[in-house]
Amino acid sequence: MKVTVKLETFEGPLDLLLHLIDKAEVDIYDIPIKQITDQYMEYLSALTELELEVTSEFIVMAATLLSIKSKMLLPKPPVIDLEFDDYMMDDDYDPRAELVAKLIEYRKYKAIADHLREKETERSLIYTREPEDLTPYVPVIQENPVQGLSVTDLVHAFRKAMRRMASRHAVAKIRKDEISVKDRMLEVLDSLERMGGKVLFSRLLEREHTRDSIVVTFLALLELMKVKRIVCFQHQLFDDIVIQAREDGAADGFSTDEISY
Segments making up each domain of the chain, as ranges: 13-124, 181-258
Q: Which of 3.90.226.10, 1.20.1440.130, 2.60.40.420, 1.10.10.580 would CATH assign to domain 181-258? A: 1.10.10.580
Q: How far apart are CA 218 and CA 185, in angstroms?
A: 10
Q: Can you tell me the mean pLDDT for 118-127?
A: 88
Identify the band that residue 8 occupies on the pLDDT scale cut at 50, 70 and 90: low
User: Which residues sit opposite 245 in a β-bridge?
Assistant: 230
3-state helix, strand, coil in the chain (%, to 5): 50, 5, 45
Nearest 5 degrees, angle CA 175-CA 177-CA 180? 145
Residues in the chain: 261
CA angle 55-61-64, nearest 5°? 145
Tell me the pLDDT of the chain averaged across its residues: 77
Tell me the per-residue pLDDT of 79-99, one tens digit each, with 9 for 90 and over.
555 444 444 445 566 778 888
**pTM of this structure:** 0.38
Q: Maximum CA pair distance of the chain?
A: 172
Q: φ, ψ for residue 200 (rounded to 5)?
A: -80, 150
75 vs 155, more confident: 155
From edge to edge, which strands make up the β-sheet containing 242-245? 198-200, 242-245, 230-233
Task: State residue 79's pLDDT score.
Answer: 56
pLDDT of residue 220 exceeding 80, the answer is yes
| Percent over 90 (pLDDT), the chain | 3
